[in-house]
């Protein structure tokens, strides 16, 4: 859009901050005021070389969990800390269907040092929803996030290769062990042959204990995937 048209649009529909609804002077994402933008925390090194959990000091190395129980994925990285205003945008996306936040999330992700570290994948696989949840919500937020954060790999996003074969209860209120049980064998690849020796970038919105992406990764490994990298937009560091 030309800058003249953008100026007219801003006059008619002034953009507001997605964190605090304050009016904004800019019409370019991210749609956050200076105060909200100051609350956005990027994750980076030092972190666990495998699961990406941040360390306060030192260099990248394997965390204790990954040493004792190596995850089924090769590497996982989240770009932002899960806290307001990022958490606000993710919640309105997931539960309110507010797709307007996607350009902001995409713009934030593009500034992350981790974005250049992902191996070009054969397929991008968003963590699937069960059909009943998909019907209820109308869209899969992991797929929307994949499209917003990897516009250059748009044609590699595949939504029908990995399925959630039964409804699971929301992970939010479950402990780590309950989360693993809840998801056990919940994901199935449609055809193993499509995954054999492939490089997969698995995408989800939030990484909390990693049980969702780990269970997906187990299913992908069984189907013969060669490399699994995990992208999540935000990481929750609450216990
Ligand atoms: Zn604000
Ligand atoms: Zn780790």
Ligand 1 centroid to residue 87 C-alpha, Å: 13
Ligand nearest to the CA of 61: 2
Ligand 1 centroid to residue 237 C-alpha, Å: 23
pLDDT of amino acid 50 = 98
| Rounded Cα–Cα distance for residues 7 and 59 (Å) | 46
The third-level CATH classification (topology) of the domain covering 42-235 is Rossmann fold (3.40.50)
Ligand nearest to the CA of 64: 2
User: For 11-23, b where at least 16 C-beta lie within 10 A, e where not — what string?
Assistant: eeeebebbbeeee
| Rounded Cα–Cα distance for residues 140 and 147 (Å) | 11
DSSP helix/strand/coil, 164: strand
- Kindly report, residue by residue over 182-206, the tens digit of the pLDDT: 888 889 998 878 889 999 999 999 9
Ligand 2 centroid to residue 182 C-alpha, Å: 22
- pTM for the model stands at 0.92
Ligand nearest to the CA of 32: 1
- Kindly report, residue by residue over 132-176, the tens digit of the pLDDT: 999 999 999 999 999 999 999 999 999 989 999 988 877 777 887
DSSP helix/strand/coil, 90: helix
pLDDT of amino acid 128 = 96
Ligand 1 centroid to residue 97 C-alpha, Å: 20
Decide if 46 contacts 115 (C-beta within 8 A): no
Can you give the residue ranges of every domain in the chain?
1-38, 42-235
For the segment 55-67, the average pLDDT, to the nearest whole number, is 97
For the segment 196-225, the average pLDDT, to the nearest whole number, is 95
């Amino acid at each position: 859009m030309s800058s003249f048209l953008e100026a007219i649009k801003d006059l008619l529909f002034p953009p507001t901050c997605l964190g605090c609804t304050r009016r904004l002077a800019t019409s370019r994402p991210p749609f956050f005021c200076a105060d909200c933008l100051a609350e956005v925390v990027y994750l980076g090194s030092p972190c666990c070389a495998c699961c990406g959990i941040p360390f306060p000091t030192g260099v990248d190395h394997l965390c204790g969990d990954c040493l004792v129980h190596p995850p089924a994925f090769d590497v996982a990285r989240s770009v932002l800390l899960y806290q307001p205003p990022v958490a606000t945008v993710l919640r309105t996306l997931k539960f309110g269907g507010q797709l307007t936040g996607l350009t902001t999330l995409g713009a934030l992700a593009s500034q992350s040092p981790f974005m250049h570290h992902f191996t070009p994948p054969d397929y991008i696989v968003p963590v699937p929803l069960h059909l009943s949840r998909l019907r209820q919500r109308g869209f899969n937020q992991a797929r929307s996030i994949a499209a917003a954060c990897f516009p250059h790999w748009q044609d590699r996003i595949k939504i029908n290769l990995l399925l959630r074969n039964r409804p699971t209860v929301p992970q939010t209120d479950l402990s780590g062990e309950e989360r693993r049980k809840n998801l056990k064998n919940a994901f199935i690849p449609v055809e193993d042959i499509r995954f054999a020796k492939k490089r997969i970038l698995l995408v989800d919105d939030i990484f909390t204990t990693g049980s969702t992406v780990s269970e997906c990764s187990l299913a992908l490994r069984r189907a013969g995937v060669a490399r699994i990298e995990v992208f999540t937009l935000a990481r929750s560091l609450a216990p």
